[in-house]
Every structure is written in structure tokens, then in C-alpha cells.
């Protein structure tokens, strides 16, 4: 299994977009700012997520990114498969070319079992589950998840926490 920074950044971006699901499209610069993702890297990741059908984009001043599916339908495995170039390491193509291949054959069933277990866990872990768990950890640390997720570049309009949560102001 080959999980790189692409997956970590892809998850961060998707969780940010999922958090704002239903509020409107999220601009990439806001995601990059809140999640600490370099913008050049962000463009590559968002393109891969869009090409895989996990997010959609809207052009224009009020445009941005939103989930193409519900958060319950997107798993960490989906993210790995979308952003990683080679999620699985490749071994020797011709066993005769590598004498060590014979010893690798001994451990292959064990590694296959480990890989299957990891894959099953990644498939079972959805964005919705991760958001719920993250919010619990944030609250336990005494932080406000709404304030944390609503940081914007200076000069951008901010939505109030009551608007994000759908609570009537009064």
C-alpha cells in the first residue's frame, strides 16, 4: 500500500468541502488557507478528485467546489484510488530477474492479508464518519469547529457560525 501526502491533502480538501456541503461551493484558495495545502498541489489534487467524480466544480465569482456525492458515500479508499499514482507497490515483473523474489513469495500471503485488511478499513471509513470524529476531538480540546473551519483570507466575507449550522439568528 502506497499512501502519500496526496492522500493526506486530498482527505483534508474533501473534509473541508464536506464540512461546507449544503452551504455553497468552496473556493480552492479558502481550502488551501484553512488546510495548509500549497495551491499548486491543491490544483492537482482537486483535478484528480473531480476527474474521479468525487467533487464537482462551478465556475465564476461565486464558484468553487462541492461534493458530487453525499459524505456517507465517499470513503477514504475512494480518495486513495483517486489521488495516488500507484496505490499498490509493484514487485518484480519477472521472477527470474530477482532472486529475492523467491523469498518474497513466502511472505506474499501475509502481505496480501494485511493489504486486504487495510483496504477494508479504508473502505469502511467515510467522510461523514471522519467529520463526526474530528468535530468531537475539536470540541474536546475546547475549540469551536465552526470558527476553525470558517477562517478566510482577509477581505473575504465570512459566514457566521449560526448561518453555517442553520440556526436562526435573533
- pTM for this one? 0.74
Look at the alpha carbons of 137, 139, 144, 145 in this order and tell me if their dihedral is positive or negative: positive
How many other C-beta atoms are found inside a 10 Å radius of the C-beta of residue 19?
A: 22
**Structural domains of the chain in order of their starting residue, each with its CATH number:** 5-90+126-162 (1.10.10.10)
pLDDT score of 85: 85
Rounded Cα distance between 75 and 93, Å, is 31
Q: Residue 90's pLDDT is what? A: 47
Predicted local distance difference test score (pLDDT) of residue 39: 87
DSSP states of the chain: ----HHHHHHHHHHHHHHHTTTT--B-HHHHHHHHT--HHHHHHHHHHHHHTTSEEEE-STT-EEEESS-GGG-BHHHHHHHH-S-SS----SSGGG-THHHHHHHHHHHHHHHHHHHHHHHHH-BHHHHHHHHHHHHHHTT--HHHHHT---TTS----HHHHHTPPP-
Measure the CA–CA gap between 161 and 42, rounded to whole angstroms. 26
C-alpha–C-alpha distance, residues 131 and 127, integer Å: 6
Average pLDDT across each block of 10 residues of the chain; the chain has 170 residues. List them in order: 87 93 88 90 95 95 92 96 76 53 76 91 95 86 71 45 35
Amino acid at each position: 500500500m502506497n499512501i502519500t501526502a496526496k492522500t493526506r491533502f486530498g482527505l483534508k480538501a474533501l473534509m473541508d468541502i464536506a464540512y461546507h456541503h449544503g452551504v455553497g461551493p468552496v473556493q480552492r484558495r479558502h481550502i488551501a488557507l484553512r488546510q495548509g495545502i500549497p495551491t499548486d498541489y491543491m490544483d492537482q489534487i482537486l483535478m484528480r478528485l473531480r476527474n474521479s467524480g468525487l467533487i464537482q466544480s462551478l465556475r465564476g465569482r461565486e464558484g468553487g467546489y462541492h461534493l458530487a456525492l453525499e459524505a456517507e458515500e465517499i470513503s477514504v479508499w475512494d480518495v486513495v484510488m483517486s489521488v495516488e499514482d500507484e496505490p499498490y507497490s509493484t514487485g518484480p515483473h519477472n521472477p527470474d530477474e530477482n532472486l529475492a523474489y523467491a523469498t518474497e513469495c513466502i511472505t506474499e500471503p501475509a502481505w496480501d492479508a494485511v493489504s486486504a485488511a487495510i483496504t477494508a478499513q479504508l473502505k469502511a471509513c467515510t467522510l461523514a464518519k471522519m467529520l463526526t470524529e474530528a468535530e468531537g476531538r475539536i470540541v474536546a480540546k475546547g475549540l469551536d469547529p465552526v470558527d476553525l473551519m470558517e477562517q478566510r483570507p482577509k477581505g473575504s466575507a465570512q459566514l457566521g457560525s449560526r448561518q453555517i449550522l442553520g440556526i436562526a439568528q435573533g
